[in-house]
Amino acid sequence: MDTIEKLRLLSGDAQYDLACACGTTKDEHRERGGEGKWLYPVTLPNGGYSILLKTLLSNACSNDCKYCPLRSDTNIRRFTLSPEETANIFMDYVRQQQVFGLFLSSGVINNPDYTMDRINAVARILRYKYHFKGYIHLKIIPGASDAAVEDSVSLASAVSLNIETTGSRHLELLSGKKHYMNDIIRPIKLMSRLTAKEGRYSRVKCTTQFVVGAADEKDSEIIDYMFGLYDRLNFHRVYFSAYQKGLGSRDIPGEKSFLLNPDDVLIREHRLYQVDFLLRKYGFKSDDIFLDSNGNLNLDKDPKDEWARRHPEFYPVIINKADKEALLRVPGLGPESVKTILKTRRSGKIKSLEDLGVKGKRLEKAQQYVIFE
């Protein structure tokens, strides 16, 4: 099989990893497929509009992660690209101005450090042979040594290691080979130290991903971990991938207790992304998020709307006087709207949200919570 065909198949297999920001237009957003499954934005080598080449180095994997369709016991065709092949084809796309950067991951070939050596070799060829100074996002393989992790950080613009779930007990339901504290938490903490503000690699961004619904974790557990990743470890982004029934083994909780229909599973992922934005962009804390008696988010309510409903004493917010933090608590107003409000107030009083470009449902929602004088 030639390099282009291998790359086409490996790029398709990369769809399950979301720990990079690769969607920039409506054409790159996730699309629903048949039987309730959904596909994620992936740059394939047969052309298209995407700007980030996203591929696996290999879909061969020695791990047994039960949620993953590429796990070692599945009967699929396995392909592997050499570091030289990967670097060469990527530079071809760069010269054609089809892509601006690379997201490179891999199944575990032999062992974590052997795989990391090949992943890092691609970045080293790009940086030192081709003098490529653009964006490179490298996936850290769980269980990689400290030296391999630091090597990746030294070569990359961004790095990610998928946390997958919340704690050892949940991971044991999904994998018999991974050790949560040593294989996942240890390298995640090292990534945080290496990329700290005062560190040598402070320019490098760190991201991670949860597979939501494969294990039996609660939303409350995910939110606590998410807050810790942002507040204590200074991660740049947390991503969520709703587990797709039928892709994994049937002896994991995600298959046995798959009670939600595909739309509800997708809504759960969406609610977690809303919480993520509240923590990152709106100044919310984890204890500002309301959960049901089982520790899960309400699928029927936006978590910001729910906070407003439970705090009637906080409203109405006075548009012409409130500070940034108070304005961000208004349903319907986001960071850009608040920035516009603060800027406009410097030159005069605001009389209408419509004048600021707030429209439609956002306008209807915000008007319930604000006054102008």
Kindly report the pTM of this predicted structure: 0.87
Name the amino acid, one letter, at 235.
Answer: F
More confident residue, 131 or 76: 131
- Cα 245 from Cα 261, distance rounded (Å): 10
Q: Which residue has the tokens 């892709």?
A: 247
| Digit-coded pLDDT (tens) for 265-274 | 888 999 999 9
Asked whether residue 350 carries a pLDDT value surpassing 90, the answer given is: yes
DSSP 214-266: SS---HHHHHHHHHHHHHTT--SEEEEEE--TTTS-TTSHHHHT--S-HHHHH
Q: Which of 213, 210, 217, 211 is nearest to 235 (CA)?
A: 210
- What class does CATH assign to 311-371? mainly alpha
Handedness of CA 288, 210, 214, 304 (dihedral sign): positive
- Cα 59 from Cα 77, distance rounded (Å): 8
Please, are residues 16 and 238 in contact by the beta-carbon 8 Å criterion?
Answer: no
Name the amino acid, one letter, at 42.
Answer: V
Q: Determine the pLDDT at residue 75.
A: 85
- Cα 167 from Cα 124, distance rounded (Å): 34
Q: Which of 68-72, 104-108, 271-275, 278-282 has the lowest mean pLDDT?
A: 68-72
Q: Which residue has the tokens 């949860």?
A: 210
Residue 137 three-state SS:
strand
More confident residue, 351 or 97: 351
| Confidence tier at 202 by pLDDT (50, 70, 90) | very high
Number of Cα atoms under 13 Å in the Cβ half of residue 33: 7
Give the fold, CATH level 3, of 3-205.
Answer: TIM Barrel (3.20.20)
Question: Structural domain boundaries of the chain?
Answer: 3-205, 311-371
Q: Which of 76, 70, 137 is nearest to 108 (CA)?
A: 70
